[in-house]
């Protein structure tokens, strides 16, 4: 029984490590997309003189912040707590 519990704990730790690794990899691509989108939307807002063009940055920034916290922050420790 003790060996089975150790194996389950080890599998859970591996699954968590895989999730963090996937999140960090995803963050690379999403960070690039977010940066390009922010630059493009800012340029579009300046060109059209309409600050409403910048609105898509708000939800994208929440997604970026969540992914960053998941990959490099303390989100998993807070979830466990």
Quick one: 42 exposed, middle or buried, by C-beta within 10 A (0-12, 13-18, 19+)? Answer: middle
For residue 1, give the 3-state DSSP assignment: coil
Task: Note the pTM of the prediction, 2 decimals.
Answer: 0.79
Which two three-digit tokens encode residue 16? 């968590």
Find out whether 17 and 70 touch, Cβ atoms under 8 Å: no
Please count the other Cβ atoms lying within 10 Å of the Cβ belonging to residue 70: 19
Q: Please write the tens of the pLDDT for every residue from 32-80.
A: 999 999 999 999 999 999 999 999 999 999 999 999 999 998 887 788 7
């Amino acid at each position: 029984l003790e060996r089975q519990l150790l194996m389950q704990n080890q599998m859970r730790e591996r699954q968590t490590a895989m999730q963090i690794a996937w999140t960090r990899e995803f963050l690379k691509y999403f960070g690039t997309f977010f940066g390009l989108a922010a630059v493009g939307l800012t340029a579009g807002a300046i060109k059209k003189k309409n600050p409403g063009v910048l609105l898509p940055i708000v939800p994208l920034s929440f997604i970026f912040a969540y992914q960053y916290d998941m990959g490099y922050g303390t989100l998993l420790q807070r979830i466990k707590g």
